[in-house]
A = this chain, B = another copy of it.
Amino acid sequence: MNLVTYRPTPEDYAYTFGGRAPVARLRAGDALSVYTEDCFGGKVLGYDDFPSQVCEFPYLNPVTGPFHVEGAEPGDTLAVHFVSITPARDRAVSTTFPHFGALTSTSHTASLQPPLEERIWVYELDVAKGIARYSARNSDYTVDLPLDPMHGTVGVAPAAFESRMTITPDAHGGNMDSPELRAGVTAYFGVNVPGALFALGDGHARQGHGEVCGTAVESAMNTVVVVDVIKGQATPWPRLESDNAIMSTGSARPLEDAYRISQHDLVTWVSGLTGLDTLDAYQLVSQAGEAPVGNVCDPNYTMLAKIEKSVLRGALPYHGVHDRLRAVAARI
């Protein structure tokens, strides 16, 4: 196994999926060790580093990459197995941000009201103990929350010659902000351009469902992935696979369309894996399926449709690539 290590300098980050030259080339089966900055570009470190002052649009939500994967062609699927996601600093931050989040009017759900107060919270991280410590700003109140590191933003170059801001999730992946995208999980992306042009960033030490205030526990990360290419099999929307479950994503507005896309894809996927006809698969997903919420604050909202592998009675998604990458990961 080949391990590629890549650590970007500040000018190396990308702010779009698509429209960027690759920073490195990988072969199927390679492991990749990267550093990713947090969504603020590392500029928000203390209570006075207001994002609206220290961050400059459009230099938000930097991603590391893109990486060209040899042999990935349009119509194929890129598999990205997350081996480890480890906070790179001993603290992480969260903030409100003017007119961004689910419990505020926004640029699109526009109102004439002034924004909420911009406030910063600093979380102390203890990786050894697996803890992210919440501290209130206006009370003497702390809570230790379980560390659950994940990447909010992972994706490939979009189709149709598009370049999209890293903050937007869509069929190419992007800023899905789902806690399900943690270590031990394989993500699948449909390839739209030669080499796939995979990139990742926006680490979260942990995140609630929907990222309701607009940001998670934002953290720089040291992350290791293994990549593979599944030739000749397309993937319409990003999918995830853990040891126990398969998941489809959908990113859209209104939120019910994110739900519909993800459930529709899961029904189709389960039907293909089990041989059940569409309505029988629809019924099975209806009674056994889950619907984890990703984000309800980004330009598109993200929901997942999830089902335990046990209902598949042994069928192997993508010919068992998840298990193979698990084995590769164990050897790193």
A residues lining the B interface (CB < 8 Å): 15-16, 18-19, 57-58, 94, 96, 102-105, 107-117, 119, 121, 123, 132, 134, 136-139, 141, 143, 145, 159-165, 206-213, 215-217, 250, 252-257, 259-261, 263-264, 267, 274-280, 282-291, 293, 296, 301, 310-311, 313
Copies in the complex: 4
* CB atoms of A165 and B162 under 8 A apart: yes
Chain B residue numbers with a CB within 8 Å of A301 are 256
- From B107, B254, B296, A253 is in contact (CB under 8 Å) with B254
In angstroms, Cα B206 to Cα A311, docked, is: 15
Please indicate the chain B residues that have their CB under 8 angstroms from the CB of A134 in the complex: 283-284, 287-288
Q: Which residue of B lies closest to A284 (CB)?
A: B134
Given contacts A94-B286, A132-B287, list 13 more A-B pairs with CB under 8 A. Answer: A16-B162, A96-B279, A104-B113, A105-B111, A136-B284, A143-B284, A143-B313, A145-B288, A162-B164, A212-B263, A256-B301, A259-B293, A291-B296
Q: What is the bound-complex CA distance between A256 and B256, given in angstroms? A: 8
Query: Pick the contact of A260 from B109, B139, B263, B293 — CB < 8 Å?
Result: B109
B141 touches A274 (CB 8 A): yes
Question: B111–A104 contact, CB under 8 A?
Answer: yes
